[in-house]
Amino acid sequence: MKVALLAAVAALALQTGPALAQAGAAKDPHAGHMADTPAQAKTYKATGVVKKIDAAKGSVMLAHGPVPELKWPAMTMSFAVKDKALLDKLAVDKKIDFEFVEQGKSYVVTAVK
């Protein structure tokens, strides 16, 4: 009887062990730390002409060429800037090469060349 009970407890422990380990790992702040890292946003490149700068809002209106990766035709649109210091590199009617990322429903300029 004791052997059968011990065998049943051992079998149960083997079946629930992985589940308990996963549950414990979920509470461990160091467990799965790679899953907590947000995916790196894809960076897109384009060339455009500065049409308007809004330093107060941290945005720039650009007339840019096509962006094939996004299936965008040439158009004029407003972009937020990641760092307002980027605005210092801009002037109305200046042609620029720039990089941007999608952030939520917005597009954000991350670099200007």
List, for residues 24-61, the tens digit of each pLDDT value: 444 544 444 444 445 678 999 999 999 999 999 999 99
- CATH superfamily for domain 43-112: Copper binding periplasmic protein CusF (2.40.50.320)
Any idea what DSSP says for residue 93? T
The rounded mean pLDDT for the chain is 80
How many percent of the chain have pLDDT more than 90?
64
Domain residue ranges of the chain, discontinuous segments joined by +: 1-37, 43-112
- In order of 9, 18, 38, 109, the CA distances from 23 in angstroms are 20, 9, 22, 41
Rounded Cα–Cα distance for residues 18 and 21 (Å)? 5
At residue 102 the predicted structure's pLDDT band, cuts being 50, 70 and 90, is very high
Residue 76 confidence class, pLDDT cut points 50, 70, 90: very high
- pLDDT for 2 equals 53
* Predicted TM-score of the model (pTM): 0.66
Q: What is the pLDDT of residue 1?
A: 52
